[in-house]
Structure 1
Amino acid sequence: MLQKRAGVRAGDCVVFDLDGTLADTSADLLAAANACFTAMGAACPLGAGDSLTAFHGGRAMLRLGLSRLRGGAPDEAEVDRWYPELLEHYRGAIAVHSRMYPGATDAVVALRDAGYAVSVCTNKPEALAEQLLRALGVRDLFAALVGADTLPTRKPDPAPYHLAVERAGGRVARSVLIGDTETDLLTARAVGSPVALVTFGPEGEAIARLKPDALLHRYEDLPALVGGLLA
């Protein structure tokens, strides 16, 4: 049996966001949105420079693309109409280009081996998050997964985070959130847990403007960073 690393207490838990934190999924998300625009008979208006919008979800991508095509604010009814089709396109090609960020898998394994509970709390629909993590070969590394539709509310509401910690066997009072957006920061503030934001996500180093408790520049530093935040 593995021994807990010195300083790791029972209930210590690390909660990860998924898109933009554990994995770069932007290319597949953008491709799903552009498939909708192709079905509309339009050119594909979204490109690699729109990765930040991709990490804000399908509706955000549809709004951006439609605003470019229509030359103004999109009709929300049109966004709602195309959203299910976007999900279908994404479900059918969820991990063509998506990859775990360098060192992420090894860092999660290191945390588990040290005695931390690890889980995922994402605003991606739960079934899609399950599918993606399995396609990437890492689902079994996480004791729990809570998605956008697991509960009636999503991040930054604290309830999904609480559930992600509890299902992993952790304690919220001894948990850390690893994320990449203001939504993750607000989630951590709502539950009173420290938060580290990655600088290799869609905002890059500019994420420092949010003044999180820590910045994660590379996954090799994660175990030491978590230990420091929970010390």
Structure 2
Amino acid sequence: MSLDSAALPSAALPSALVFDFDGTLIDSVPDITQALNETLAHFGRRALTVDDVRTMVGDGSGQLLRAAFAATGAALSDGQVPAVLQHYTDTYFSHSAEPSCLYPGVVDTLTRLHAAGVKLGLCTNKPERIARKLVGLLGLGHLLPVVAGGDTLPVRKPDGAPVAWVMEKLGATAAVMVGDGRNDVLSARAVGIPVVAVSYGYPRMPVSELGADIIIDRFADLPGALARLPA
């Protein structure tokens, strides 16, 4: 039986899932690095490597830029941030996205979960307009109809409000968070929902120390992990 045709036991699944994006559904660091380096060059800074940037993502574009500029010279002042942020987000938004950035098993697994009646939403610290564009380019729009970006609300993860907002828009009173970092765990705990962590993302700390309920090594393992969550 193929992955696409394998039925999921709906009784063992939550009513809703809220996903992180970068490091969970997509390997975005190469594209982020390209856009970031264009911005750094525009403002007279040296380029960063993919490995450099991998340690900086997860806290939103503003914090990413502060870290990148601090690593390449003088730190950004508060007054400099808006112009730099605008250049970066415009640059990133102008880029396309290749399906190869999706981690293995993501499309098939999301499709199966959707077919089983699970409501799916996205909660990311990436700017909303960029997240929505990428979701569309990657053909995930019908699977992830609700998107909260890092600028959708006045606060972002690790605050629980964006996760709660996604749940509300999905019409869900309960859910499970799926992510790769501490911000995902903290935001989920803030609204009292379980967390499944992936081991392959950008956690910036040992995954075993994130405090997730279950850790999976492959996205395709998610349905089985959901069935093992404590009641």
TM range (shorter): 0.7 to 0.9
- Of 49-58 and 182-191, more deviation after overlay is shown by 49-58
Give 1:4 shift.
Answer: 8.0
| CA spacing shift, 1:38–1:208, aligned 2, 3 Å | same
The equivalent residue for 1:31 is: 34
| CA spacing shift, 1:47–1:127, aligned 2, 3 Å | same
SS in 2 for 1:196: strand
The equivalent residue for 1:207 is: 207
The equivalent residue for 1:180 is: 180
Q: How does 1:89-100 map to 2 (within 5 A)?
A: 89-95=91-97, 99-100=101-102
- Of 200-209 and 188-197, more deviation after overlay is shown by 200-209
The equivalent residue for 1:5 is: 9
| CA spacing shift, 1:6–1:136, aligned 2, 3 Å | closer
Q: Aligned-residue CA RMSD in angstroms?
A: 2.3
SS in 2 for 1:76: coil
TM-score by length of 2: 0.87
Counterpart of 1:33, as a letter, is L
The equivalent residue for 1:147 is: 149
Report sequence identity in percent: 33
| CA spacing shift, 1:208–1:94, aligned 2, 3 Å | farther
What do residues 138-185 of structure 1 show as CA deviations (whole Å, max 9, x unaligned)?
11112422222322222222222122112223222xx10001111111
Counterpart of 1:7, as a letter, is A
C-alpha separation in 2, matches of 1:67 and 1:103: 36
Give 1:209 shift.
Answer: 1.5
TM-score by length of 1: 0.87
Tell me which protein shows more helix as a share of its residues.
1
Residue 69 (structure 1) aligned with residue 72 (structure 2): yes
SS in 1 for 2:45: coil
* Gaps in structure 2 of 5+ consecutive residues: 1-6
Alignment: residue pair count: 224
Contact 1:199 1:216 in 2 (8 A): yes
| CA spacing shift, 1:220–1:129, aligned 2, 3 Å | same
Give 1:40 shift.
Answer: 2.0
| CA spacing shift, 1:98–1:81, aligned 2, 3 Å | farther
Give 1:41 shift.
Answer: 3.0
The equivalent residue for 1:223 is: 223
